[in-house]
């Protein structure tokens, strides 16, 4: 079998130089691909202390060894860089088709270096890479940008781009491809800092595999397993649009900037409510789940809002932090974030932070451009999203994220800044799912829900062992989750698809794709996962991180979590007599509940009269 | 078009006489079919004061005018009689194929009169009806009984039968067909009182419709609508196995005999947990939903338990009343009830009643055959189910239902008897869904969830108008729900399928089936619904019912509902230092979180050592 280690496209935007290289065999052996390549190259190529938004930072875009193949749910891709919000290692994963197209163009990695003098975009084909003028699309939203690129380069083109938020260096700007985002870690701001608006790839399906025969047999086996997997079927039906049904029920749905673990008006944001506004499904390349549930608002103040999403994290981001019960507002907010190129989690978290400061009087109406940031009111939230992307007024402050905003506000704002390493917390309350919380504290990139998702705490998953979700003695499980995520992300396996019963095939698949038999050994994979996590740690240590930054927010460590009584608490049925009076009256019955002669005749039931005559006289 | 009003098979078990008759046109015009026929005939043929378990009571089995046709979800069937637990009108609806087979045999109604001298069963074909000896199956469970009948009469046979509970006149014994039940109202006890073990029908598909061409066009339209309906798709995926996700979240999941509206350990009984034990789907005749989710237990003390179900009411019945978190026990209990022929709702309710009496010391260990009825312990629940069906020990008392059991126990037991008209309450807490509660209070048969299901309170349905679920001013909505259920049950439309977007076709469909154009008019249908409900009321009035019995249990009227704080209430993350110590130790890092030389070398990351040497010395 020929060795197939993957190809790199290196683009220097300062010099305009474009080169290609192959990944050396030793790096492939030690790091497999995907996130493994990401940390390996980033560690080598970034000098400690590099400004994340400076010319010397680099942006990596990576797919995995299986991208673009007939296997399912393995064509995702990611960005890696030094993180603008955290200053730590950054990796942000994205869906849609871009990862497959990058493979069709012949590459597994793009390394973007330097900074263009004026806005540009890359146009990539299997035979060429051009740095082109982006003057016409600079300032445009992601939908307009992608449409324009499609017109320029034709229907076999797929794109990843930034919106106004990335151009304006919002610390949590996203990279957007179709309607999916590499949301977290502000990698969109790194693109913006390089004056790089987009990467467009024009290519047709073409894949190189070391052992296509073995691979295709494995891929068929994978497809069969997935089709019959219950978790897959559930994901296909719901995506993550009903996860709040579980998290709210068990009290880990963070509300009012992590002061409550439940939403008082939960019923209005339940999965079944989102289901009512669903108008379609969208999916990633070669994935039958189509978990991107598309929602459309047809009436009310948000009529016309239309979004692929919100999925669970974004449902939460636009209902939990400000305790809104408007699913319509959440759909509008989700759409805005995708259009403007913002991470929904950090956007919602930063807005929740602002609402709490407003409640406490630390921010006043004069500070918020006249917006009244009152819990439950969602119109100001939607207004703030636009302001953040454009860095207008209060939006300029919130665009820095809650950690930096709190530091510049002072006056006790710090305790309201709910972040780890500058990354706003996602939609799982750490006090009610402590292994998930400690994953936030120790993940290489800051507070990430998916860096080592504690399904044991949240869904009762039994592997590697069940956990008590309130116990703080599950360090082994946290490590198992983190290292497991790491090795799966060498092939950029979708986080959901990892639970569809087929991952025991993963090693064999990458072995056949790369021509490296060792990968078929599960113990080897686990070692690679641990190696990746340790190299990420070394990257962070080199940047000055240590135990001090591995901490949850003060609130989580000192304030007791409050849950909510259900709205029915204390209810009794207290007006039965009045109810029966009204019910009998509407029925046309007597005060004693006996059908009247009039009603019986009206219904043609005259024959009954004689039988109940005595009762009617009571 | 020829008029097609339906045929009656009348069987007198005392005399052995079997006759057939046609439904007169006027009765068809006024009552359409199904439940309409049920109340119309029962009203005429039952003398007031008839003992429900005496020879003079009659048992009706009815399908609807659309049963057995190509239309979907309209082949259910029901029993009607005077109710053993309530003394009121009884109707109990069942699924599976029996309704279609009754139509294939040529009938819409079987009227069973009298009492056989020894156990018998009916065997019915399109050309014959025989009363046959049931000596070999008397005492057998419903699975054995149906298997035996299948062997006797061949594969084109469908059956409805009772189990030991019906033979032993348990007040809430069910009639069972395949694994579906006509559960409520104790109509299985009426069969038992007549020494009638089963009805078996051998027939092949044959349907008479007045206007087959028009009908089949409508049926095709219906099939298309259903296929694209979101509520249908959800029902197909989940059945009702996740309804507890909603009811528990909003605090109307009755726990500990209706003292709490939420389960403390909800996560363990969530829909997703049942999903893990699902092994298949089963459905009724001509219904694509296959909402009967089959669960199987493969390990632990209930290994081997296997049931079509539990669906929502039964999930609740075996987790809520005794606050058990064992889905395995609920599956075993559900299977037992189907085998023994018991209504799950009244079984669970009666057991919950017993547990509360035990907690209060009103029942002692010496009263319960040594069983310790302690909340959360499910083994005694499973033991009680067997005792109830066999009327052994404490089971003999509980077999009477909580109303009669409380009256015979005295000592304050009455306040623990949660029933309306002798029917135990189903799985929706009235204090948190008051329109549902008032439906319990006023439904003709006693506390029934589906007699006028308040989807407005429970799922926020907007028709005919939204409700505040705590308001007691929704008498109009209660009536709308009850009358709407009534007219739909003239065609024995499945309660779920009524929400799949096609019921505006229902009138046209029964018009084409019957050859009675008037039925195509929605206002006419509504009038029929009201007529049915009023005739049922007259039946009850004639039996002595009036306002006094239209009441919810004292507890619901006087004790405030209590909900539960989520288990996370008050939690903080309090051992971060200990966690990090352990985490770093397991990672092979220093106390300060820096990878050790040993670990880095082990992972082949020697090149990192020089970069973080300073940090490692800290």
B547-559 pLDDT, tens per residue?
Answer: 999 999 999 999 9
Pairing label, strands B128-133, B89-94 = unpaired
Residue ranges of the domains in chain B? 7-202, 236-424, 434-579
Encode pLDDT of B556-581 as tens digits: 999 999 988 777 888 888 899 999 99
Any CB–CB contact under 8 A between B561 and chain A?
Answer: yes
Tell me what pLDDT residue A204 has. Answer: 96
pLDDT above 90 (res B266): no
Closest-CA residue of A relative to B555 is A572
Predicted pLDDT of residue B419 = 98
Q: Which two tokens stand for residue A524?
A: 């080897």
- Tell me whether residue A206 is exposed, middle or buried, using C-beta atoms within 10 angstroms of its C-beta: 0 to 12, 13 to 18, 19 or more: exposed
What pLDDT shows up at residue A430? Answer: 95
Q: B493 and chain A: CB distance < 8 Å anywhere?
A: no
- What does each C-alpha distance from B296 to A96, A233, B281, B304 come to in angstroms? 38, 19, 12, 7
Residue B569: per-residue pLDDT: 82
Residues of B in contact with A457 (CB under 8 A): none
- Stretch B402-408: mean pLDDT: 98
Between chains, do B580 and A556 touch, taking CB under 8 Å as contact? no
pLDDT in the model for residue B92: 98
Average pLDDT, chain B: 95
Chain A interface includes B559 (CB < 8 A) = yes
Label residue B346 by pLDDT band (50, 70, 90): very high
**Rounded to whole angstroms, how far apart are CA atoms A500 and A480?**
18
Residue B300 gets the label, from left (phi > 0), alpha (psi -120 to 50) or beta, of: left
Q: Report the alpha-carbon distance of residue A395 to residue A373 in Å, rounded.
A: 13
What is the Cα–Cα distance from A66 to A77, expressed in whole angstroms? 11
Quick check: B534 and A605 CB within 8 A? yes
pLDDT digits 0-9 by tens, A62-114: 999 999 999 999 999 999 999 999 999 999 999 999 999 999 999 999 999 99
Q: What is the pLDDT of residues B132-160, one digit of tens each?
A: 999 999 999 999 999 999 999 999 999 99
In whole angstroms, what is the distance from residue B399 CA to residue B393 CA? Answer: 10
* Cα of A122 vs its chain's centroid, Å: 26
- Sign (positive/negative) of CA torsion B381, B383, B386, B388? negative
User: What whole-number distance in Å separates Cα of residue A207 and Cα of residue A229?
Assistant: 28
Residue B281 clears pLDDT 90, i.e. is over it: yes
The answer to whether the CB atoms of B568 and A576 lie below 8 A apart is no
What distance lies between CA B536 and its chain's CA centroid? 21
Residues of chain A with pLDDT under 50: 618
Interface check for A228 against chain B (CB to CB < 8 A): the answer is no
Q: Which of residues 395-454 of A touch B (CB under 8 A)?
A: 429-432, 434, 437-438, 441-442
From B391, B320, B407, select the one nearest B173 (Cα to Cα): B391
- Asked if A119 and A138 touch (Cβ cutoff 8 Å), the reply is yes
Nearest by Cα to B428 from B437, B419, B420: B437
Q: Considering only the beta carbons, identify the residue of A272, A572, A605 that sits closest to B535.
A: A605
| B339 three-state secondary structure | helix
A434-579 CATH, one of 3.40.50.300, 3.40.50.720, 1.10.1060.10, 1.10.599.10: 1.10.599.10
Pick the CATH number of A7-202 from 3.40.50.720, 3.60.9.10, 3.40.50.1470, 3.40.50.1000: 3.60.9.10
pLDDT at B234 over 90: no
Contacts with B434 from chain A: Cβ below 8 Å:
573
Q: What is the pLDDT of residue A229?
A: 85
- Per the listing, tokens 């009772």 go with B162
CB pair distance less than 8 Å for B547 and A250: no
Question: pTM score > 0.90 for this model?
Answer: no
Level-2 CATH architecture, domain B236-424: Orthogonal Bundle (1.10)
E strand residue ranges, A226-354:
278-282, 292-296, 306-308
Interface of A with B in 312-351 (CB under 8 A): none
Q: Is the pLDDT of residue B224 over 70?
A: yes
**Six-digit token string for B533:** 């409900």
- To probe the interface with A, which of B27, B254, B457, B538 has the most A CB atoms within 10 Å? B538
Q: Is B543 on the interface with A (CB under 8 A)?
A: no
Give how far B23 is from chain A: nearest CA, Å.
Answer: 18
**Does the bond joining B225 to the residue before it have cis omega, within 30 degrees of 0?**
no
The beta strand positions in B203-283, using DSSP E, are 278-282
Tokens 């893990």: give the residue.
Answer: B276
Q: What pLDDT, on the 0 to 100 scale, is given for residue A564?
A: 82
Chain Cα centroid distance, residue B34: 19
CB B192 within 8 A of CB B167: yes
Tell if the CB–CB gap between A615 and B571 is shorter than 8 Å: no
Query: B231: pLDDT confidence band, cut at 50, 70 and 90?
Result: confident
Contact A249/B at CB under 8 A: yes
Q: Is there a contact between B230 and A275 if contact means CB atoms under 8 Å apart? A: yes
Mean pLDDT of B599-616: 90
**Angle, nearest 10°, between helix axes B522-542 and B506-514?**
80
Element (H, E) at B348: helix B344-359
Of the partner residues A278, A531, A559, the one whose CB lies closest to the CB of residue B605: A531
B233: its two tokens = 């798709």
Query: Are the CB atoms for B164 and B141 separated by under 8 Å?
Result: yes
**Chain B residues with CB inside 8 Å of A242's CB?**
245
DSSP B13-46: TTT--EEEEEPPHHHHHHH-STHHHHHHHHHHHP
Predicted-complex ipTM score = 0.88
Residue of A293, A547, A567, A575 to mutate when probing chain B, most B C-beta within 10 A: A547
């Amino acid at each position: 079998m020929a060795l197939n280690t993957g190809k790199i496209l290196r683009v220097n935007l300062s010099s305009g130089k474009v080169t290609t290289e192959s990944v050396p065999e030793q790096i492939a052996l030690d790091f497999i691909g995907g996130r493994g390549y990401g940390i390996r190259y980033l560690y080598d190529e970034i000098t400690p202390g590099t400004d994340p938004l400076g010319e010397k930072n680099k942006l990596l875009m990576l797919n995995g060894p299986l991208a673009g193949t007939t296997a399912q749910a393995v064509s995702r891709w990611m960005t890696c860089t030094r993180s603008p919000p955290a200053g730590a290692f950054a990796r942000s994963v994205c869906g849609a088709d871009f990862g497959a197209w990058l493979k069709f163009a012949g590459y597994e990695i793009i390394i973007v270096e330097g900074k263009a003098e004026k806005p540009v975009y890359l146009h990539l084909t299997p035979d060429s890479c051009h740095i082109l003028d982006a003057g016409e699309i600079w300032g445009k939203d992601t939908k307009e940008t992608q449409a324009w690129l499609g017109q320029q380069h034709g229907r076999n083109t797929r794109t990843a781009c930034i919106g106004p938020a990335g151009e304006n260096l919002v610390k949590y700007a996203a990279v957007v491809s179709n309607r999916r985002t590499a949301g977290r870690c502000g990698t969109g701001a790194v693109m913006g800092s390089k004056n790089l608006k987009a990467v467009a790839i024009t290519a047709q399906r073409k894949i190189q595999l070391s052992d296509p025969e073995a691979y295709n047999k494995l891929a068929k086996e994978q497809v069969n397993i997935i089709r019959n997997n219950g978790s897959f079927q559930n994901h296909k039906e719901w995506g993550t649009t009903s996860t709040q049904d579980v998290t709210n029920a068990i009290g880990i749905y963070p509300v009012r900037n992590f002061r409550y673990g439940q939403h008082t008006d939960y019923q209005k944001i339940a999965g079944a409510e989102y289901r009512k506004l669903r108008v379609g499904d969208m999916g990633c390349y070669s994935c039958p789940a189509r978990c991107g549930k598309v929602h459309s608002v047809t009436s009310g103040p948000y009529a016309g809002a239309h979004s692929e999403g919100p999925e669970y994290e974004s449902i939460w981001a636009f209902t939990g932090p400000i305790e809104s019960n408007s699913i319509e507002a959440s759909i509008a907010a989700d759409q805005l974030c995708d259009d403007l190129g913002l991470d929904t989690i950090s956007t919602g978290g930063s807005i929740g932070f602002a609402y709490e400061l407003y409640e406490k009087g630390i921010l006043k109406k004069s500070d918020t451009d006249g917006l009244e940031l009152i819990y439950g009111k969602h119109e100001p939230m939607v207004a703030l999203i636009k302001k953040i992307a454009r860095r207008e007024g209060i939006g300029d402050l919130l665009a820095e994220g809650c950690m930096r905003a709190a530091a510049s506000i002072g006056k006790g704002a710090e305790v309201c800044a709910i972040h780890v390493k500058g990354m706003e917390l996602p939609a799982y309350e750490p006090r009610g799912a402590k292994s998930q919380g400690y994953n936030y504290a120790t993940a290489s990139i800051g507070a990430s829900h998916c860096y080592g998702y504690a399904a044991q705490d949240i869904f009762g998953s039994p592997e590697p062992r069940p956990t008590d979700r309130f116990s703080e003695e599950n360090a082994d499980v946290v490590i198992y989750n983190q290292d497991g995520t790491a090795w799966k992300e060498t092939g950029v396996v979708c986080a959901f698809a990892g639970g569809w019963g087929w991952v025991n095939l993963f090693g064999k698949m990458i072995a056949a794709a790369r021509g490296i038999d060792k990968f078929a050994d599960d113990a080897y994979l686990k070692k690679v996962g641990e190696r990746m996590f340790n190299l990420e740690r070394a990257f962070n240590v080199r940047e000055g991180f240590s135990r001090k930054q591995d901490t949850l927010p003060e609130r989580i460590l000192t304030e007791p979590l409050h849950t909510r009584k259900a709205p029915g608490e204390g209810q009794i049925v207290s007006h039965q007599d009045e109810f029966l009076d009204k019910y009998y009256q509407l029925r046309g019955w007597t005060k004693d509940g006996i059908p009247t002669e009039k009603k019986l005749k009206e219904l043609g039931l005259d024959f009954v009269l004689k039988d109940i005559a005595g009762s009617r006289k009571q």
